[in-house]
């Protein structure tokens, strides 16, 4: 049994708490959050971009308002870091130095140097470090990755990835809207697609990004469109987190090859359809589990079997930070940036 301590019981920490309950062979035994109401026996719920949420029943686990107290109390193998991005590096390093394996939410950190420190600390302590890039585990994206690998599209022609959300209003003290703490829409939201593109296509030669800004007091990048420059396929990623309040959260892709087009959108029913050039549309089979469940199952199996993760390495997560920071540079300079 892999025992887990979660630190940060906001939106994603609560999602993870509920998801761990679905993971065979793993159990949450402790949680920590500096806001006492988030670690109450009936904890205040945070709905995030999935809407209303029920209060959590935390009565069965040890509860702390300080991560260091949780680390000192122990009784678990793995610390699941669900904290604001600005403290990912420092807190993950503390967990690794205290002798635990660590999962860190995406984005891994705000800078490549911080990522390197995290990777070095995991190595020094001989502990596993996972970064929770859930989209690599999201069922419809798994279908796409498998089809690309199997050559099911024939020659790839175009790929378009979209992620749109109303403003992230729920974060504790509004930290998400402070680019110095979250990295803004680029690092917080759009990195999901940048990382996925990199995972299936490799690092692009260059990126060319344009961005817009809506939130009056927010970061200067609320909506980005990036061309990822590859030799023979046109790839576009669009991410925006300042859509109007009633705009439904949407993630989507459309991948066209010489044999057909695979289209996915959380706004469609069915969400995923392959339109071949020579036949009727088909709905590919995919897992009913969420990406959160599949990533936590995978990470916990790696810990159980003492295996280094290969589906997303800490170095991959570091490279996705490097990629998105190149997009930021392109927005600022107005020119394409070589990677
Ligand atoms: N994978 C995904 O789909 C996904 C979705 C949302 C958020 N995230 C990531 O998860 C991280 C957290 O985001 P969120 O939306 O849950 O934020 P949030 O503000 O809802 O939650 C953060 C929690 O951390 C607590 N906290 C802050 N500093 C602390 C400290 N020093 N010690 C203990 N507790 C502390 C806060 O009180 C808060 O409850 C971010 O890095 C974000 O990018 C990932």
Position in ligand 1 atom list of the atom nearest CA 187: 43
Q: Which atom of ligand 1 is nearest to the CA of 88?
A: 41
Closest atom of ligand 1 to 132 CA is: 1
Q: Could you tell me if residue 209 is inside a domain?
A: yes
Whether residues 49 and 151 share a domain: the answer is no
In Å, what is the CA distance from 191 to each residue of 9, 101, 214, 278? 22, 24, 19, 35
Q: Using CA positions, which residue lies closest to atom 31 of ligand 1? A: 34
* 105 CA to centre of ligand 1 in angstroms: 8
Contact 144, 255 (CB under 8 A): yes
Whether 53 and 199 share a structural domain: no
Beta strand segments in the chain, E: 2-7, 26-32, 42-43, 56-57, 62-64, 78-81, 101-105, 129-132, 156-166, 206-212, 223-229, 234-243, 250-257, 260-265, 272-276, 337-338
Give nearest CA residue, ligand 1 atom 1: 134
Flag whether 305 is in a domain.
no
Calculate ∠ Cα 144-145-146, nearest 5°.
90
From 79, 66, 15, 9, select the one nearest 41 (Cα to Cα): 9
Nearest atom within ligand 1 for CA of residue 13? 16
| Cα(151) to centroid(ligand 1), Å | 38
Among 133, 152, 175, the domain-final residue is: 133
User: pLDDT tier at 219 (50, 70, 90 boundaries)?
Assistant: low
Pick the last residue of a domain from 133, 152, 171. 133
**152 found inside a domain:** yes
> Which residues 6+ apart lie within 8 Å of 88 measured at CB?
81, 104, 105, 107, 108, 109, 110, 114, 118
Residue 44 lies in a domain: yes
Same-domain pairing of 124 and 148 = no
Whether residue 54 sits in one domain with residue 143? no
Indicate whether 218 belongs to any domain: yes
Separation of alpha carbons 264 and 213, rounded Å: 27
- The CA-atom distances, in angstroms, between 244 and each of 49, 60, 109, 212 are 13, 39, 28, 14
Which of 8, 180, 249 is the best mutation target for the ligand 1 pocket, counting ligand atoms within 8 Å of the beta carbon and taking the most?
8
**For strand 2-7 and strand 223-229, is the pairing parallel, antiparallel, or unpaired?**
unpaired
If asked whether residues 163 and 129 sit together in one domain, one would say no
pLDDT score for 177: 84
Query: Is 39 in contact with 13 (CB distance < 8 Å)?
Result: no
Listed residues 81, 111, 133: the one ending a domain: 133
Q: Is residue 285 in a domain?
A: yes
Ligand 1 midpoint to CA 44 (Å): 14
Question: Has residue 218 got a pLDDT over 70?
Answer: no
Question: Do 157 and 112 reside in the same domain of the chain?
Answer: no
Rounded Cα–Cα distance for residues 74 and 111 (Å): 30
Pair (37, 107) in one structural domain? yes
How far away, in angstroms, is 12 Cα from ligand 1 center? 6
Q: Is the pLDDT of residue 7 over 70?
A: yes
Q: Is the domain of 46 the same as that of 120?
A: yes
- Write the residue with the smallest CA distance to atom 34 of ligand 1: 33
Residues with a CB atom less than 6 Å from ligand 1: 7-13, 32-35, 38, 46, 48, 67, 82-85, 87, 105-106, 132, 134, 170-172, 188
Domain extent at residue 30:
2-133
209 in Cβ contact with 185 (< 8 Å) = no
Chain segment 278-312, per-residue pLDDT in tens = 999 999 999 999 999 999 999 999 999 989 999 99
Tens of pLDDT along 222-274? 999 999 999 999 999 999 998 998 999 999 999 999 999 999 999 999 999 99
Q: Is the pLDDT of residue 211 over 60?
A: yes
Q: Is residue 179, in this structure, part of any structural domain at all?
A: yes
Same domain, 62 and 157: no
> For the domain that residue 61 is a member of, what is the CATH number?
3.40.50.720
Report how far residue 301's alpha carbon sits from residue 85's, in angstroms, rounded to the nearest whole number: 25
Pocket test for ligand 1, best of 15, 35, 110, 172 (most atoms within 8 A of CB): 172
Q: Are residues 213 and 265 in the same domain?
A: yes
93-146 pLDDT per residue, tens = 999 999 999 999 999 999 999 999 999 999 999 999 999 999 999 999 999 999
Span from the CA of 84 to the centroid of ligand 1 (angstroms): 4
- Same-domain check for residues 146 and 105: no
Percent of the chain scoring above 90 in pLDDT: 87
Q: CA quadruple 28, 300, 83, 96: dihedral positive or negative?
A: positive
User: Is residue 22 helix, strand or coil?
Assistant: coil
Residue 162 banded pLDDT, cuts 50, 70, 90: very high
Domain count, the chain: 2
- Same domain for 259 and 120? no
CATH code of 161's domain = 3.30.360.10
What is the pLDDT confidence band of residue 65, given thresholds at 50, 70 and 90?
very high
**pTM, two decimal places:** 0.96
Provide the 3-class DSSP secondary structure of residue 172.
Answer: helix
User: Is residue 169 in some structural domain?
Assistant: yes
Q: What is the pLDDT of residue 171?
A: 75
């Amino acid at each position: 049994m892999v025992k887990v301590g979660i630190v940060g019981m906001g939106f994603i920490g609560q999602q993870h708490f509920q998801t761990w309950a679905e993971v065979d062979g793993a159990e949450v035994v402790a949680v920590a959050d500096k806001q006492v109401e988030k670690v109450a026996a009936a904890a205040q719920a945070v709905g995030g971009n999935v809407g209303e949420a029920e209060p959590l029943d935390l009565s069965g686990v040890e509860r702390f308002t300080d991560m260091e107290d949780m680390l000192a109390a122990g009784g678990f193998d793995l610390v699941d870091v669900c904290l604001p991005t600005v403290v990912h590096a420092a807190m993950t390093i503390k967990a690794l130095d205290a002798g635990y394996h660590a999962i860190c939410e995406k984005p891994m950190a705000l800078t490549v140097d911080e990522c390197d420190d995290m990777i070095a600390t995991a190595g020094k302590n001989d502990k596993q470090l996972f970064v929770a890039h859930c989209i690599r585990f999201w069922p419809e994206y798994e279908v796409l990755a498998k089809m690309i690998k199997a050559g099911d599209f024939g020659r790839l022609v175009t790929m378009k990835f979209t992620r749109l959300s109303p403003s992230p209003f729920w974060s504790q003290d509004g930290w998400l809207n402070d680019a110095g703490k979250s990295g803004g829409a680029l690092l917080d939201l759009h990195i999901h697609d940048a990382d996925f593109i990199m995972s299936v296509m490799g690092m692009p030669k260059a990126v060319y990004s344009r961005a817009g800004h809506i939130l009056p007091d927010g970061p200067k990048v609320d909506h980005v469109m990036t061309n990822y420059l590859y030799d023979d396929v046109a790839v576009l990623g669009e991410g925006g987190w300042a859509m109007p309040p009633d705009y439904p959260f949407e993630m989507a892709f459309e991948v066209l090859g010489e044999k057909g087009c695979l289209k996915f959108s959380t706004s469609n029913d069915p969400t995923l359809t392959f339109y071949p050039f020579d036949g009727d549309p088909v709905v590919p089979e995919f897992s009913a589990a969420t990406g959160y469940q599949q990533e936590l199952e995978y990470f916990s199996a790696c810990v159980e079997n003492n295996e280094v993760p290969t589906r997303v390495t800490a170095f991959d997560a570091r490279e996705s930070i490097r990629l998105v920071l190149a997009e930021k540079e392109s927005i600022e300079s107005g020119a394409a940036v070589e990677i």
